[in-house]
Amino acid sequence: EPEVTQTPSHQVTQMGQEVILRCVPISNHLYFYWYRQILGQKVEFLVSFYNNEISEKSEIFDDQFSVERPDGSNFTLKIRSTKLEDSAMYFCASSETLAVNYEQYFGPGTRLTVT
């Protein structure tokens, strides 16, 4: 069964460093998302991406964040200068379409630890 994959599973970085989190969405899906979950809190939306551009972003997704689909399969989230409060699980998700079925399928997540 097709699934969303994410690498790395765990990333440790120092405050101020840049990180890139990688995702491979399900191959026939057209919509891509990033969410995050800070320990003990709920899953929060960061950004959605369709047709090679951001379609929606949350207040969390400030100028320090960017997304890219560099080729036909990868979808990346970059944090330019990490802060302690960026420590969280980051989930990539994809969906096939926004008509009829709105289900989003999630990857296993990348645990980002900023020290």
Q: Which residue's CB is nearer to another protein, number 17 or number 38?
A: 38
User: Is cis: bond before 25, omega within 30 of 0?
Assistant: no
By CB under 8 A, what part of segment 60-89 binds another protein? none
- Per this entry, what is the length of the chain? 115
Contacts of 2 (CB under 8 A, 6+ apart): 26, 27, 28
- Check residue 56 for interaction with another protein (CB under 8 A): yes
Q: Find the binder of another protein among 42, 51, 71, 72 (CB under 8 A).
A: 42
How many chain residues touch another protein (CB under 8 A)?
28
DSSP state of 97: -
- Check residue 25 for interaction with another protein (CB under 8 A): no
